[in-house]
Structure 1
Amino acid sequence: MTADRPQRFSEMISAGGFGPRAAASLCMLLMLPGADARALFGWDAGAVVAAAFLCGYLILCWRHLLPVVRVLLLVCVGLVAFTLFRDGGIGTLVRAMGPTTLLPAFLAMLALLRAAAGASRTTFLAGRLLVNQPPARRYASLTLGGHIFGILLNIGGLALLIDMTRRANTLEAGNGDPAIVELRQRRMTLAVMRGFACVALWSPLGLAINLLLAATPQVAWIDVAPWGIAATVGFALLGLLFDHLESPRASRPFVRAPDPEGGRALLWMLAHIVALSCLTMIVETFTHLPFQAILINVVPIYAFCWLLAIGRENGGVSPPRFAARVLRNDGVARWPDYANEIGIFSASGLLGILLADLAPRELIEHAFASTALPPGAILGVLASAVIVLGFIGINPMISASILATVMARLELPGLPLTAVVLALAGGWACIVGAGPMVSTLVIVANAIGRSPAEVGLRWNGRFTLAASLIWVAILLLLPL
């Protein structure tokens, strides 16, 4: 097995081998029932068993983890050891196992949806349509594309669309002018990245909303979604304004061949998002089950049904066998590829509970009461904290998770938790395209051969500053 082309899980099994990647995938597979049992029925024993398999997964993937993720996990180990020696420490650890295993389980299920979307020709056709738009519409179309691909494919959708824009941005497409090529690259990159960032504000399949709702179980997704969608529209319009102010007019007419297939494909991708969102909302409304528990069970079923439809269209292998093969080869076998994201999610869930338990609740409540800060000011401080910490290298997954967990345990009059979730999600959306250590920016910068500082600060810095100031101002003026 070579480092640049990891052998698939199915190939390992068929070849009689069982390496670390296959073992890691097996650990994740064995983790899921326990995490699901804890999410659906509140069985703490299920979470403890799931946590054991999650530890096995992270140990097997250890050498592939980024240094910052390793440090974060070692901090978790130290904090767990410290908690064990405190009164009631075992109970605290058992309680922390739920969030610690729930979010990695969700990310694993989301990988199955990504496998289904990647197997669909619809994804390629929709991406081609978005990239091949005239200059006047290209920014808006790629912002929409970054949002749609980000919802269905998460970070993989961002990488896919960025790669498509890079391939389309040739010297010939730029009329032989390197300056135009440079401008096109900047515009298309920012459009995709800003559209992707808005996923944090509302998407039921987004990592941000799921992390924040797991930290604040009192809040339902349907309470957050309408306001998050409105904020998404505002962020998108601000991006359009900046693109208009910063980009010159096109120097030559653009002729684009009709692409009816691309239009239908884009509508189908939108339909998938609407269907998943509505299905999640309906199940949450009628069952009152936890939001992440619904997603853990709905997403793999939806992915399997999507692949059945693709299999029927393609012919050849029977649809069930086709669906099972794609989920196995492009889903389960690739779970080790998400070790860094799963490591951060695990650490965020654990640190959120343990640090919130260590935080002096009465002292914090007294501090807020003595300063007499209005609710809007508290929300502004929370959003600003996520943004500032993101700039100095602390991933919003960590800062937002800890802040949300702490705020969920406080009793502050006039401060609804729904507003707390929105404030933190907005701070996350602001910093995700500018924080030098945020994975989104690092992936984008590497894909186009630029430094994160150039893309995040020189290209996107003014927009990030304006969006941050506007978001904090809106929070300050909220009539709470």
Structure 2
Amino acid sequence: MAGLVRIRLICSTVAVVVIIIAAIVGEFTALPAAKTAAAAATVVFMLLEAVALTRGGHIMLAFCLAATVVTLAIHPHGGEVVMHGLNSAAFVIGLFAAVSLLRDAAETSPLIQRCGDVMVRQPPGRRYTVLSVGSHLIAVILNFGVLTLLGVMVQRGNTLDAAGGDQRIADIRKQRMMTALLQGFAMMTVWSPLSVSFAVMQAAIPGVDLAHLLPVQGVLTVLLLLLGWAIDRLTFPPGLRGTITTPLPKPAEPPSWAPMGQLVLLVGSVITAVLGMAWLLDIRPVISAMVVVPISAWLWLAVQVWHSSPLLAPVLATRRLARRLEISMPAFRTEFAVLGGATFFGAVAAAYLTPSTIADLLAHVALPPILLTIALVWGMMVAARYGVPQIVSATLIGNGLSGLATHGIHPLVLTSGLMGAWALSACTTPVGAATLSIARQSGVSTKVVGRDWNGRFVLSGSVVVAVWMVVLRAFLH
């Protein structure tokens, strides 16, 4: 039995590697065989790992199977629609898998551990800022892993003894620090070329120039991070905190800020390499990320073993990366099922929303284009609050509104708004991996995390995003 399990895991890993390679080859060569290989590998992986999926993964696959059967039965181009959905799912899975390799390298890096120690050992006055910004930076390379890494450190430092025996103080500290981690992580999806949201929006909404999108999203990210800081200060003003202004226990020597500088340099180098390759080769940043990130992960692993074995560092790094592939790729089965399944379902559903159908619907909506755009963005947030994955809503909205200009909706405005709403929704959706992780580590329900801890931030953020869209549209016109 153990031997069969091992064979299954190896085959699953090979399938994911095929997805990554086929997605890259397909982008550079436009060979139909590459897309076919990626789609076939996706189906193979799901068949191999279906037995080990969680309930959420099984539900998503059931929806995808139902959509496939219905589409093949009633849609005049059912086969093409299903293949398009599989190709879209394969691409998102390939991107997530490739980017996750950097996380595997980060998990064994002393640098990340030192950065985490610096962040959790801050006085209350700057604790939120350092934790949210630090979580934001580490999330670029660790993705969801940052919540586990820093969450464990926060829980370890936030003891009842450290709070002077006052449970109220310990609970307030937990809320503030875990909220900072979640919000910092979530805001990464507003701008990062390594995020799934970036890939989905670029694929779903055509006509968005990267040179315009990145600066716009950078400004929006700063605005939302500042909003989180302001709400934290208003919720826990210094006069109200009283004894909770005492810092967490400090180490014998104050931690150096040098690791944070090294982290900024590392993240900046990876992002620069991704964008530089995209510009030089005239390809989408998500494709260059699928090339650059695995190479960066290998180099990072080689650096980690360089001092002990300089000559063997390349070999040891290759072996460790291969071992991590075999462990981490099958372990992402549920993430692949949910992300890939949501992408597939959204792409198939969008095939029923023809431009003429959308035009007829919009003709009956008595709203100016900008208000309609804001309504769509807020609609995605509401849907996410009730369990509809953002990736489904974003794909439907993007693919359904293929002729954005004809409806008076600027593609950049809609893309910016949806990415901001996606990030805000990650702080409140009850089925999101981020809120589930924070709730589990904090010992509270997702309802507490989404409503009590982040409700004010998300509601205020939705207003900020709406105002931002209005200003951006005015500037573009």
TM-score by length of 2: 0.92
Distance, in Å, in 2 between the alignment partners of 1:80 and 1:44 is: 21
Give the equivalent residue in structure 2 for 1:43: 31
Q: Residue 367 of structure 2 aligns to a residue in which SS?
A: coil
Distance, in Å, in 2 between the alignment partners of 1:377 and 1:246 is: 31
Q: Residue 428 of structure 1 aligns to a residue in which SS?
A: helix
Larger mean CA deviation between 98-107 and 463-472 belongs to 463-472
Q: Residue 306 of structure 2 aligns to a residue in which SS?
A: helix
Question: In the alignment, residue 49 of structure 1 is paired with which amino acid?
Answer: A
Residues 98-145 of structure 1 show CA distances to partners (whole Å, capped at 9, x for unaligned) of 322111011111121111111211000000100111111111010012
Q: Is the CA contact 1:100–1:345 (under 8 Å) kept in the aligned structure 2?
A: yes
Distance, in Å, in 2 between the alignment partners of 1:196 and 1:440 is: 8
Q: Displacement, 1:90?
A: 2.5
Larger mean CA deviation between 34-43 and 110-119 belongs to 34-43
Q: Displacement, 1:256?
A: 4.2
Give the equivalent residue in structure 2 for 1:353: 347
Distance, in Å, in 2 between the alignment partners of 1:356 and 1:108 is: 25
Give the equivalent residue in structure 2 for 1:4: none
Q: Does structure 1 residue 244 correspond to structure 2 residue 244?
A: no
Q: Is the CA contact 1:119–1:326 (under 8 Å) kept in the aligned structure 2?
A: no
Distance, in Å, in 1 between the alignment partners of 2:196 and 2:64 is: 21
Q: Residue 57 of structure 1: which of 38, 45, 52 is its match?
A: 45
Residues 258-280 of structure 1 show CA distances to partners (whole Å, capped at 9, x for unaligned) of 86764221111111211122112
Distance, in Å, in 2 between the alignment partners of 1:370 and 1:266 is: 53
Distance, in Å, in 2 between the alignment partners of 1:276 and 1:301 is: 10
The 1:331/1:134 distance shift into structure 2, 3 A limit, reads: farther
Distance, in Å, in 2 between the alignment partners of 1:143 and 1:67 is: 32
Q: Residue 87 of structure 1: which of 67, 76, 96 is its match?
A: 76
Give the equivalent residue in structure 2 for 1:224: 213
Distance, in Å, in 2 between the alignment partners of 1:135 and 1:219 is: 41
Q: Residue 283 of structure 1: which of 269, 277, 284 is its match?
A: 277
Q: Calculate the aligned-residue CA RMSD, in Å.
A: 2.3
Question: In the alignment, residue 460 of structure 2 is paired with which amino acid?
Answer: A
Structure 1: state its 5+ residue gaps. Answer: 2-6
Q: Is the CA contact 2:404–2:410 (under 8 Å) kept in the aligned structure 1?
A: no
Question: In the alignment, residue 294 of structure 1 is paired with which amino acid?
Answer: S
Q: Does structure 1 residue 73 correspond to structure 2 residue 61?
A: yes
Distance, in Å, in 2 between the alignment partners of 1:399 and 1:427 is: 11
Give the equivalent residue in structure 1 for 2:303: 309
Give the equivalent residue in structure 2 for 1:167: 156
Question: In the alignment, residue 202 of structure 2 is paired with which amino acid?
Answer: L
Larger mean CA deviation between 388-397 and 212-221 belongs to 212-221
Q: Displacement, 1:250?
A: 4.9
Distance, in Å, in 1 between the alignment partners of 2:86 and 2:27 is: 11
Q: Is the CA contact 2:139–2:185 (under 8 Å) kept in the aligned structure 1?
A: yes
Distance, in Å, in 2 between the alignment partners of 1:317 and 1:21 is: 31
Q: Is the CA contact 1:22–1:333 (under 8 Å) kept in the aligned structure 2?
A: no
Distance, in Å, in 1 between the alignment partners of 2:370 and 2:252 is: 49
Residues 339-388 of structure 1 show CA distances to partners (whole Å, capped at 9, x for unaligned) of 12211221233223222211132121233245453332122112111110
| Identical columns (%) | 25
Equivalences for residues 332-347 of structure 1 within 5 A: 332-347=326-341
Q: Does structure 1 residue 136 correspond to structure 2 residue 130?
A: no
Q: Is the CA contact 1:365–1:410 (under 8 Å) kept in the aligned structure 2?
A: no
Q: Displacement, 1:153?
A: 0.4
Larger mean CA deviation between 26-35 and 386-395 belongs to 26-35
Q: Displacement, 1:151?
A: 1.0
Q: Is the CA contact 1:430–1:467 (under 8 Å) kept in the aligned structure 2?
A: yes
Structure 2: state its 5+ residue gaps. Answer: none
Q: Displacement, 1:147?
A: 0.5
